[in-house]
Structure 1
Amino acid sequence: MASAATPRYTVPGLTVQDAGSVIELLQQRLHSLNDLHLTLKHAHWNVVGPHFIAVHEMLDPQVDRVREMADDVAERLAALGGVAHGTPGTLVKERTWEDYSVGRADALAHLGALDLVYTGIIQDLRSAIKTVGDIDPATEDLLIEQLRDLEQFQWFVRAHLETAGGTLATADAATETEAAEQAATR
Protein backbone atom coordinates (compact mmCIF):
# COMPACT_ATOMS: atom_id res chain seq x y z
CA MET A 1 0.00 0.00 0.00
CA ALA A 2 1.36 3.43 -0.89
CA SER A 3 1.77 6.10 1.79
CA ALA A 4 0.21 9.54 1.58
CA ALA A 5 3.63 10.83 0.45
CA THR A 6 3.84 8.44 -2.51
CA PRO A 7 3.52 10.58 -5.63
CA ARG A 8 1.74 9.67 -8.86
CA TYR A 9 4.91 10.49 -10.81
CA THR A 10 8.50 11.42 -10.01
CA VAL A 11 11.84 12.26 -11.61
CA PRO A 12 13.31 9.81 -14.13
CA GLY A 13 15.33 7.04 -12.54
CA LEU A 14 13.41 6.85 -9.25
CA THR A 15 10.45 4.65 -8.48
CA VAL A 16 7.42 6.38 -7.03
CA GLN A 17 7.92 4.30 -3.88
CA ASP A 18 11.50 5.52 -3.45
CA ALA A 19 10.40 9.06 -4.22
CA GLY A 20 7.71 8.71 -1.55
CA SER A 21 10.35 7.74 1.01
CA VAL A 22 12.49 10.73 0.07
CA ILE A 23 9.44 13.02 0.12
CA GLU A 24 8.61 11.94 3.69
CA LEU A 25 12.18 12.60 4.75
CA LEU A 26 12.25 15.99 3.00
CA GLN A 27 8.98 17.00 4.65
CA GLN A 28 10.60 16.56 8.06
CA ARG A 29 13.63 18.54 6.86
CA LEU A 30 11.26 21.30 5.70
CA HIS A 31 9.60 21.41 9.11
CA SER A 32 13.01 21.49 10.78
CA LEU A 33 14.24 24.37 8.62
CA ASN A 34 11.03 26.39 8.93
CA ASP A 35 11.18 25.97 12.70
CA LEU A 36 14.87 26.88 12.77
CA HIS A 37 14.47 30.10 10.82
CA LEU A 38 11.64 31.19 13.14
CA THR A 39 13.67 30.21 16.21
CA LEU A 40 16.70 32.15 14.98
CA LYS A 41 14.54 35.20 14.31
CA HIS A 42 12.99 34.85 17.78
CA ALA A 43 16.47 34.85 19.34
CA HIS A 44 17.43 37.84 17.15
CA TRP A 45 14.46 39.82 18.51
CA ASN A 46 14.89 38.78 22.15
CA VAL A 47 18.65 38.87 22.71
CA VAL A 48 19.94 41.38 25.27
CA GLY A 49 23.13 42.15 27.15
CA PRO A 50 26.68 43.19 26.37
CA HIS A 51 26.96 40.88 23.36
CA PHE A 52 23.64 42.05 21.93
CA ILE A 53 24.78 43.66 18.68
CA ALA A 54 27.26 40.92 17.76
CA VAL A 55 24.65 38.18 18.19
CA HIS A 56 21.78 40.24 16.79
CA GLU A 57 23.71 40.88 13.58
CA MET A 58 25.19 37.36 13.39
CA LEU A 59 21.74 35.75 13.35
CA ASP A 60 20.15 37.60 10.40
CA PRO A 61 22.38 36.02 7.70
CA GLN A 62 21.69 32.63 9.29
CA VAL A 63 17.94 33.31 9.13
CA ASP A 64 18.22 34.27 5.46
CA ARG A 65 20.25 31.19 4.51
CA VAL A 66 18.00 28.82 6.45
CA ARG A 67 14.97 30.28 4.66
CA GLU A 68 16.74 29.60 1.34
CA MET A 69 17.42 26.04 2.49
CA ALA A 70 13.72 25.56 3.27
CA ASP A 71 12.83 26.82 -0.19
CA ASP A 72 15.34 24.45 -1.80
CA VAL A 73 13.94 21.49 0.16
CA ALA A 74 10.35 22.40 -0.73
CA GLU A 75 11.24 22.71 -4.40
CA ARG A 76 13.07 19.35 -4.40
CA LEU A 77 10.09 17.77 -2.68
CA ALA A 78 7.78 19.17 -5.39
CA ALA A 79 10.16 18.07 -8.17
CA LEU A 80 9.88 14.52 -6.82
CA GLY A 81 6.09 14.77 -7.20
CA GLY A 82 5.25 15.58 -3.60
CA VAL A 83 3.42 18.37 -1.86
CA ALA A 84 5.44 20.68 0.39
CA HIS A 85 3.41 21.24 3.54
CA GLY A 86 4.70 24.51 4.96
CA THR A 87 1.88 25.78 7.12
CA PRO A 88 2.47 26.50 10.82
CA GLY A 89 -0.27 24.08 11.87
CA THR A 90 1.25 21.20 9.94
CA LEU A 91 4.72 21.98 11.30
CA VAL A 92 3.50 21.96 14.90
CA LYS A 93 1.39 18.82 14.37
CA GLU A 94 4.18 16.83 12.70
CA ARG A 95 7.35 18.00 14.44
CA THR A 96 9.12 15.63 16.79
CA TRP A 97 10.71 18.24 19.08
CA GLU A 98 9.55 20.77 21.65
CA ASP A 99 9.21 24.47 20.93
CA TYR A 100 12.15 26.79 21.71
CA SER A 101 11.73 27.87 25.31
CA VAL A 102 14.08 30.84 25.80
CA GLY A 103 12.42 34.26 25.73
CA ARG A 104 14.11 37.59 26.39
CA ALA A 105 17.55 36.59 27.60
CA ASP A 106 21.23 37.36 27.61
CA ALA A 107 23.05 36.75 24.33
CA LEU A 108 25.08 33.90 25.81
CA ALA A 109 21.94 32.20 27.10
CA HIS A 110 20.41 32.27 23.63
CA LEU A 111 23.63 31.03 22.08
CA GLY A 112 23.79 28.17 24.57
CA ALA A 113 20.26 27.12 23.70
CA LEU A 114 20.87 27.58 19.96
CA ASP A 115 23.93 25.33 20.21
CA LEU A 116 21.66 22.48 21.30
CA VAL A 117 19.10 23.37 18.62
CA TYR A 118 21.81 23.17 15.97
CA THR A 119 23.08 19.88 17.40
CA GLY A 120 19.65 18.28 17.04
CA ILE A 121 19.14 19.59 13.51
CA ILE A 122 22.61 18.51 12.39
CA GLN A 123 22.22 15.03 13.87
CA ASP A 124 18.86 14.58 12.13
CA LEU A 125 20.28 15.91 8.87
CA ARG A 126 23.23 13.51 8.98
CA SER A 127 20.78 10.64 9.47
CA ALA A 128 18.70 11.86 6.52
CA ILE A 129 21.82 12.03 4.32
CA LYS A 130 22.61 8.41 5.13
CA THR A 131 19.06 7.36 4.29
CA VAL A 132 18.86 9.11 0.92
CA GLY A 133 22.44 8.28 -0.09
CA ASP A 134 21.51 5.00 -1.76
CA ILE A 135 18.22 6.26 -3.17
CA ASP A 136 18.70 9.73 -4.62
CA PRO A 137 22.12 11.35 -5.10
CA ALA A 138 20.57 14.70 -6.11
CA THR A 139 18.75 14.99 -2.78
CA GLU A 140 21.84 13.73 -0.96
CA ASP A 141 23.90 16.50 -2.61
CA LEU A 142 21.35 19.15 -1.59
CA LEU A 143 21.37 17.95 2.02
CA ILE A 144 25.18 17.76 2.18
CA GLU A 145 25.42 21.38 1.03
CA GLN A 146 22.99 22.38 3.77
CA LEU A 147 24.93 20.36 6.34
CA ARG A 148 28.09 22.35 5.60
CA ASP A 149 26.27 25.65 6.15
CA LEU A 150 24.50 24.51 9.33
CA GLU A 151 27.75 23.20 10.80
CA GLN A 152 29.38 26.55 10.04
CA PHE A 153 26.52 28.39 11.76
CA GLN A 154 26.94 26.16 14.82
CA TRP A 155 30.65 26.93 14.80
CA PHE A 156 29.81 30.67 14.84
CA VAL A 157 27.53 30.08 17.84
CA ARG A 158 30.06 27.87 19.63
CA ALA A 159 32.85 30.42 19.16
CA HIS A 160 30.99 32.56 21.72
CA LEU A 161 30.63 29.61 24.11
CA GLU A 162 34.14 28.18 23.96
CA THR A 163 36.94 28.99 26.38
CA ALA A 164 40.51 29.61 25.24
CA GLY A 165 41.26 26.10 26.49
CA GLY A 166 38.70 24.57 24.16
CA THR A 167 35.96 23.83 26.68
CA LEU A 168 32.39 24.37 25.53
CA ALA A 169 30.19 26.10 28.13
CA THR A 170 27.24 23.90 27.15
CA ALA A 171 29.12 20.58 27.10
CA ASP A 172 27.10 19.00 29.93
CA ALA A 173 23.68 20.38 28.95
CA ALA A 174 20.93 17.93 28.08
CA THR A 175 18.24 20.53 27.37
CA GLU A 176 18.23 23.96 25.80
CA THR A 177 17.20 25.47 29.16
CA GLU A 178 20.23 23.87 30.85
CA ALA A 179 22.44 25.06 27.99
CA ALA A 180 21.09 28.60 28.30
CA GLU A 181 21.72 28.61 32.06
CA GLN A 182 25.24 27.16 31.73
CA ALA A 183 26.22 29.60 28.99
CA ALA A 184 24.81 32.63 30.83
CA THR A 185 26.71 31.81 34.02
CA ARG A 186 30.12 31.04 32.56
Structure 2
Amino acid sequence: MTQTARPTHTAHPAFQASQQLADHLQQLLVDLTDLHIQGKQAHWNVVGKNFRDLHLALDEVVDAAREFSDTVAERMRAIYVTPDARSATVAARTSLPEFPADEIDTADCVDTIVAALYAVAGTGRRIHDEVDADDPTSADIIHTILERLEQLAWMIDAENRIANNSIPRSMHE
Protein backbone atom coordinates (compact mmCIF):
# COMPACT_ATOMS: atom_id res chain seq x y z
CA MET A 1 0.00 0.00 0.00
CA THR A 2 1.39 3.35 -0.99
CA GLN A 3 1.18 6.23 1.42
CA THR A 4 0.43 9.59 -0.01
CA ALA A 5 2.24 12.56 1.41
CA ARG A 6 0.09 14.70 3.63
CA PRO A 7 0.09 18.37 2.91
CA THR A 8 1.81 20.53 5.50
CA HIS A 9 -0.54 21.84 8.16
CA THR A 10 0.06 25.36 9.36
CA ALA A 11 -1.56 26.89 12.42
CA HIS A 12 -1.34 30.50 13.45
CA PRO A 13 -1.53 30.51 17.24
CA ALA A 14 -1.86 33.84 18.99
CA PHE A 15 0.69 32.68 21.54
CA GLN A 16 3.44 30.07 21.82
CA ALA A 17 5.43 29.34 24.96
CA SER A 18 9.00 30.51 25.41
CA GLN A 19 11.56 27.93 26.48
CA GLN A 20 11.54 29.41 29.99
CA LEU A 21 7.75 29.11 30.25
CA ALA A 22 7.91 25.55 28.91
CA ASP A 23 10.58 24.60 31.47
CA HIS A 24 8.63 26.14 34.35
CA LEU A 25 5.39 24.37 33.44
CA GLN A 26 7.28 21.12 32.90
CA GLN A 27 8.72 21.33 36.43
CA LEU A 28 5.29 22.01 37.89
CA LEU A 29 3.89 19.05 35.94
CA VAL A 30 6.64 16.76 37.25
CA ASP A 31 6.08 17.85 40.85
CA LEU A 32 2.30 17.49 40.62
CA THR A 33 2.68 14.03 39.10
CA ASP A 34 5.03 13.01 41.91
CA LEU A 35 2.61 14.43 44.49
CA HIS A 36 -0.12 12.24 43.01
CA ILE A 37 2.12 9.17 43.27
CA GLN A 38 3.28 10.02 46.79
CA GLY A 39 -0.30 10.61 47.88
CA LYS A 40 -1.26 7.12 46.71
CA GLN A 41 1.80 5.60 48.38
CA ALA A 42 0.79 7.31 51.62
CA HIS A 43 -2.86 6.32 51.19
CA TRP A 44 -1.96 2.65 50.89
CA ASN A 45 0.59 2.50 53.69
CA VAL A 46 -0.51 4.90 56.44
CA VAL A 47 -1.36 3.27 59.79
CA GLY A 48 -2.09 4.51 63.29
CA LYS A 49 -4.33 6.93 65.17
CA ASN A 50 -6.82 8.84 63.05
CA PHE A 51 -6.05 6.48 60.16
CA ARG A 52 -9.41 6.82 58.46
CA ASP A 53 -9.47 10.63 58.48
CA LEU A 54 -5.96 10.84 57.06
CA HIS A 55 -6.67 8.05 54.57
CA LEU A 56 -9.58 10.08 53.22
CA ALA A 57 -7.62 13.35 53.25
CA LEU A 58 -4.94 11.68 51.17
CA ASP A 59 -7.61 10.92 48.56
CA GLU A 60 -8.20 14.68 48.35
CA VAL A 61 -4.48 15.26 47.78
CA VAL A 62 -4.40 12.61 45.05
CA ASP A 63 -7.50 13.98 43.34
CA ALA A 64 -6.17 17.55 43.40
CA ALA A 65 -2.72 16.54 42.15
CA ARG A 66 -4.20 14.44 39.34
CA GLU A 67 -6.61 17.18 38.26
CA PHE A 68 -3.94 19.89 38.40
CA SER A 69 -1.36 17.81 36.52
CA ASP A 70 -3.92 17.28 33.75
CA THR A 71 -4.74 21.00 33.70
CA VAL A 72 -1.05 21.95 33.47
CA ALA A 73 -0.36 19.35 30.76
CA GLU A 74 -3.32 20.49 28.71
CA ARG A 75 -2.24 24.12 29.09
CA MET A 76 1.20 23.08 27.88
CA ARG A 77 -0.32 21.49 24.78
CA ALA A 78 -2.46 24.60 24.17
CA ILE A 79 0.70 26.72 23.98
CA TYR A 80 2.63 24.19 21.89
CA VAL A 81 4.73 22.51 24.58
CA THR A 82 4.96 18.72 24.77
CA PRO A 83 4.44 17.61 28.39
CA ASP A 84 6.59 14.79 29.75
CA ALA A 85 5.31 12.95 32.82
CA ARG A 86 6.88 9.59 32.09
CA SER A 87 7.97 7.74 35.21
CA ALA A 88 11.68 8.12 34.42
CA THR A 89 11.27 11.86 33.88
CA VAL A 90 9.33 12.32 37.11
CA ALA A 91 11.87 10.27 39.09
CA ALA A 92 14.80 12.20 37.65
CA ARG A 93 13.37 15.72 37.91
CA THR A 94 11.06 15.89 40.92
CA SER A 95 11.83 18.48 43.57
CA LEU A 96 9.81 16.62 46.22
CA PRO A 97 11.54 14.72 49.01
CA GLU A 98 11.36 10.95 48.57
CA PHE A 99 8.41 9.23 50.25
CA PRO A 100 9.11 6.14 52.43
CA ALA A 101 8.48 2.72 50.92
CA ASP A 102 7.17 1.01 54.07
CA GLU A 103 4.22 1.54 56.37
CA ILE A 104 4.15 5.02 57.82
CA ASP A 105 2.63 6.20 61.09
CA THR A 106 -0.13 8.79 60.74
CA ALA A 107 1.84 11.54 62.52
CA ASP A 108 4.90 10.93 60.30
CA CYS A 109 2.68 10.71 57.25
CA VAL A 110 1.14 14.08 58.05
CA ASP A 111 4.59 15.69 58.21
CA THR A 112 5.79 13.91 55.06
CA ILE A 113 2.77 14.67 52.87
CA VAL A 114 2.64 18.27 54.10
CA ALA A 115 6.32 18.63 53.12
CA ALA A 116 5.42 17.31 49.65
CA LEU A 117 2.47 19.71 49.35
CA TYR A 118 4.67 22.63 50.35
CA ALA A 119 7.39 21.50 47.92
CA VAL A 120 4.91 21.69 45.02
CA ALA A 121 3.60 25.01 46.31
CA GLY A 122 7.20 26.19 46.51
CA THR A 123 7.71 25.32 42.85
CA GLY A 124 4.56 27.22 41.97
CA ARG A 125 5.65 30.27 43.96
CA ARG A 126 9.20 30.12 42.57
CA ILE A 127 8.08 30.10 38.94
CA HIS A 128 5.00 32.29 39.28
CA ASP A 129 6.39 35.73 38.50
CA GLU A 130 8.32 34.60 35.44
CA VAL A 131 5.31 32.61 34.20
CA ASP A 132 3.09 35.66 34.79
CA ALA A 133 5.45 37.86 32.78
CA ASP A 134 5.27 35.43 29.82
CA ASP A 135 1.70 34.19 30.11
CA PRO A 136 -0.83 35.50 32.64
CA THR A 137 -3.24 32.72 31.69
CA SER A 138 -0.80 30.06 32.88
CA ALA A 139 -0.13 32.15 35.99
CA ASP A 140 -3.87 32.06 36.76
CA ILE A 141 -3.68 28.26 36.73
CA ILE A 142 -0.80 28.43 39.20
CA HIS A 143 -2.93 30.66 41.47
CA THR A 144 -5.63 28.00 41.57
CA ILE A 145 -3.10 25.27 42.29
CA LEU A 146 -1.47 27.25 45.10
CA GLU A 147 -4.79 28.07 46.71
CA ARG A 148 -5.86 24.42 46.90
CA LEU A 149 -2.50 22.84 47.76
CA GLU A 150 -1.80 25.33 50.54
CA GLN A 151 -5.31 24.77 51.88
CA LEU A 152 -4.74 21.01 51.90
CA ALA A 153 -1.35 21.46 53.59
CA TRP A 154 -2.90 23.62 56.31
CA MET A 155 -5.77 21.21 56.90
CA ILE A 156 -3.58 18.11 57.05
CA ASP A 157 -0.82 19.82 59.07
CA ALA A 158 -3.42 20.81 61.71
CA GLU A 159 -3.49 17.13 62.71
CA ASN A 160 -0.02 17.48 64.27
CA ARG A 161 -0.13 21.12 65.39
CA ILE A 162 -0.18 22.06 69.07
CA ALA A 163 -2.35 25.11 69.77
CA ASN A 164 -0.22 28.23 70.33
CA ASN A 165 2.93 26.10 70.47
CA SER A 166 3.75 25.12 66.88
CA ILE A 167 6.08 26.68 64.38
CA PRO A 168 5.18 28.63 62.38
CA ARG A 169 2.98 30.39 64.89
CA SER A 170 -0.34 31.76 63.76
CA MET A 171 -0.31 35.49 63.22
CA HIS A 172 -2.73 37.69 65.10
CA GLU A 173 -2.96 41.37 65.95
Scaled to the shorter chain, the TM-score interval is 0.7 to 0.9
Does the residue aligned with 2:164 lie in a helix, a strand or coil?
coil
1:105 aligns with 2:121: no
CA contact (8 A) 1:132 1:140 kept: yes
User: Contact 1:9–1:81 at 8 Å: present in 2 too?
Assistant: no
Find the aligned partners of 1:126 and 1:31 in 2 and give their Cα distance.
Answer: 15
Q: CA deviation at 1:158?
A: 1.2
More deviation, 96-105/114-123: 96-105
Aligned partner of 2:35 in structure 1 is 36
Distance 1:19 1:11, change over 3 A: farther
Q: Distance in 2 between matches of 1:58 and 1:98?
A: 20
| Distance (whole Å) between structure 1 residues aligned to residue 89 and residue 12 of structure 2 | 23
Tell me, in whole angstroms, the C-alpha distance in 1 between the residues paired with 2:62 and 2:95: 21
Contact 1:125 1:143 in 2 (8 A): yes
Q: Deviation per CA, 1:10-48: give whole Å up to 9, x if none.
A: 841x4x5x5322111111111000000110111111110
Partner of 1:92: 91
Aligned to 2:5: none
Q: Partners of 1:55 and 1:45 in 2: how far apart?
A: 11
Larger Rg: 2
Task: Write the distance in 1 (CA, Å) between the matches of 2:96 and 2:158.
Answer: 25
Identify unmatched segments of 5+ residues in structure 2.
1-9, 169-173
Structure 1 residue 102, shift from structure 2 partner? 5.7
Amino acid at match of 1:101: P
Larger RCO of the pair (alpha carbons < 8 Å, separation 6+): 2
TM-score (norm 2): 0.84
Residue 121 of structure 1: aligned partner: 120
Following superposition of structure 1 onto structure 2, how do residues 64-79 of structure 1 map, counting pairs within 5 Å?
A: 64-79=63-78
SS at match of 2:139: helix
Q: Distance in 1 between matches of 2:127 and 2:11?
A: 22
- For 1:67, the aligned partner's letter is R
Provide the rounded CA distance (Å) in 2 between the counterparts of 1:146 and 1:136.
16
Q: Is the 8 A contact 1:19 1:80 kept in 2?
A: no
Matches within 5 A, 1:1-186: 11-12=13-14, 14=15, 16=16, 18-101=17-100, 103-168=102-167
| SS of residue matched to 1:160 | coil
Q: Mind listing any 5+ residue stretches in structure 1 that lack a counterpart?
A: 1-7, 172-186
Count of paired positions: 159
- AA of the residue aligned to 1:49: G
The 1-side partners of 2:130 and 2:113 are apart by: 26
Call closer, same or farther: CA 1:98–1:108 in 2, change over 3 Å. Answer: closer
